[in-house]
Structure 1
Amino acid sequence: MDWSSFGSAISGAVIGGFIAGFFALKSTQKSFDNQKTQSDESEKKLIKGVLQAIHDELETIFERYQESMGSKIENLNDQEALAFYYPLVSDFFTVYNGNSFLIGRIPDNDLRKKIIKTYTIAKGMVDSFRLNNDLVSKWEFSEKLFAESQLEVHKQQAIAHHSALVDYAKSIKDGHASFKVEVNGLLRELRKNGVLNEVNN
């Protein structure tokens, strides 16, 4: 047996194995890096899509709200009631509610907090209008009873319900002012983050 040839063969095999292993490892690492890059890009596109949808939802809702109710609230004087119904659908915030699991994945802490705060205030406004609608219903019912019966008790109830509407209108005006500030601030922030930029979508 030629030990020299045998040693050379073993050395060659070991070196060849190391080289093959090294390149296999490099190939695996490169594949992992590529997958991570693709995953990161997919995540960015997903979050950007959610932010665009939130922008469009808020902008649309606020424009319609401002036209139908916001302007009326701003024109109320301090002793005036919001004495009419505001029709409410079951869910104004389809995008936000349907993508709530993605909100926590928004990397910008301040933006994430702004989104949550704005929608919390918006939902609070919806609850306020539901309560106001209930107060309007009670006031109208008392007015109807008084008109039919002419009883003093129903007149006093109608006056009390109207007074409650006047007081609650002040709370709605405060909520509206806060809501308007938050929505406009969030829309500006979303635009600064490039939600209207179609490049690299």
Structure 2
Amino acid sequence: METWQNLLGFSGYVLGLTRDELASVQWADSIPTLMGALVGGLLTLHAANKTFKGQQTMQRQQLLDMEKAFLQSINSELAMVRQHYQTVIGNEIDQLPDGKPFESNYSVTGDYFTVYNKSDQIGHVRDEKLRRDIIWAYSMMKGLLDSYQTNNDMLAKREQDMKDFRYSSKMVGLLDANTRSAELTQYAETLKTYHLEARAAVDSALESIDETLKHEKNWKV
């Protein structure tokens, strides 16, 4: 009896009829029609479910494709920034003797992190360690460039002190310039530390990105 009631309920769902309406049906004459409607209804439900699952799969794949494209872009940007930095500044700081100031003045005011700064995809990187590595690498590089700007400002102040001494012949200008030189020498050690730490952070992030990208299973639903 319970099975029959369940069948009536499901039949009503498929045919859009209430239980009372179903009960008034002339079953002997209507069974072929009912069975056809049930089969048709089941096929429709199956097709709708398959379509829904297909759409879900497509959406998940699109998210994976977006994440992969973002990581590929970040990988390219970090690699280029590292290479440019090492060529323009890094080699010089590597060769700087201990106890010497960093005398070069490099412009570090440009936007070297276009992909990272203009994208909100970092929050969608699934791997927590990879996400941390990328954020840390960019934070360290930004901090390093800020440090070079600080060094530039110190060089400019020392130059101004020397100009004041040359034009006024006042010893205070020379003393100030010597003080700046001592500060620059001390700050050079800070620069070398930041240089090594930032480069290591970038190398670690690049290694993590490469390791993630090379596994195809990470990019298929």
Aligned residue number for residue 56 of structure 1: 76
Q: Who wins on radius of gyration, i.e. which is larger?
A: 2
Q: Deviations over 1:67-125 (max 9, x none)?
A: 111111111122111122111233110011111x1111111111111001111111111
| Partner residue in 2 for 1:76 | 96
* Unmatched tracts of structure 1, length 5 or more: none
TM-score computed with the length of structure 1 as normaliser: 0.88
- Identical counterparts, % of pairs: 28
Please give the alpha-carbon distance, in whole angstroms, between the structure 2 residues aligned to 1:189 and 1:176: 20
- The equivalent position to 1:166 in structure 2, one of 181, 185, 189, is 185
Q: C-alpha offsets along residues 175-194 of structure 1, whole Å, 9 cap, x if unaligned?
A: 11101111111112222223
Q: Does 1:152 align with 2:171?
A: yes
Which structure's relative contact order is higher, taking Cα pairs within 8 Å and 6+ residues apart?
Answer: 1
Q: Does 1:91 align with 2:111?
A: yes
TM superposition shift of 1:166: 1.2
Residue 173 of structure 1 deviates from its aligned partner by 0.7
Verify: 1:132 aligned to 2:183, yes or no: no
Q: Is the 8 A contact 1:51 1:195 kept in 2?
A: no
Q: Distance in 2 between matches of 1:21 and 1:159?
A: 91
* Equivalent AA in structure 1 for residue 101 of structure 2: A
Residue of structure 2 in register with 1:45 after alignment: 65
Q: Distance in 1 between matches of 2:88 and 2:59?
A: 43
- Find the aligned partners of 1:66 and 1:196 in 2 and give their Cα distance: 29
14, 17, 33: which one aligns with 2:37? 17
* Distance in 2 of aligned mates of 1:196 and 1:65: 29
The CA deviation at 1:195 is: 6.0
Matched residues in 1 for 2:116 and 2:75: separation?
Answer: 10
The equivalent of 2:197 in structure 1 is: 178
Write the letter of the residue equivalent to 1:104.
G
Please report the RMSD computed on the Cα atoms of aligned residues, expressed in angstroms.
Answer: 2.1
Structure 1 counterpart SS, 2:26: helix
AA aligned to 1:76 is: L
Amino acid at match of 1:8: A
Corresponding residue of 1:113: 132
